[in-house]
Amino acid sequence: MEFKLDGSPYIELKNLLKVSGLCDNGAAAKAAITEGQVSVDGKPENRKGCKIKSGQKVSYQKKVIEVID
């Protein structure tokens, strides 16, 4: 799946999981990140506020979000 930044330079990881529909709400997104279930560009990421920029790929529950401009 793709996520378009629409002019923003980045989106925080927790918000990306929420707005993309992979997590039902912010609390679920934060829990998934804290529990080590999320990876960015193939590496585990535990920072909820990690800035995700164009060209990066986020993986969660065997689903991949590619962030584009």
CATH number of the CATH domain containing 47: 3.10.290.10
pTM for the model: 0.93
How many domains, in total, are found in the chain? Answer: 1
Q: pLDDT-based confidence at 38, cuts 50/70/90? A: very high
* pLDDT for the residue 13: 97
Residue 40 structural domain: 2-68
Burial (CB < 10 A; 0-12, 13-18, 19+), residue 31, is middle
| Interval 38-66 mean pLDDT | 97
21 beta partners: none
Q: pLDDT-based confidence at 17, cuts 50/70/90? A: very high
* pLDDT for the residue 12: 97
The per-residue pLDDT of the chain, averaged, comes to 96
| Interval 32-58 mean pLDDT | 97
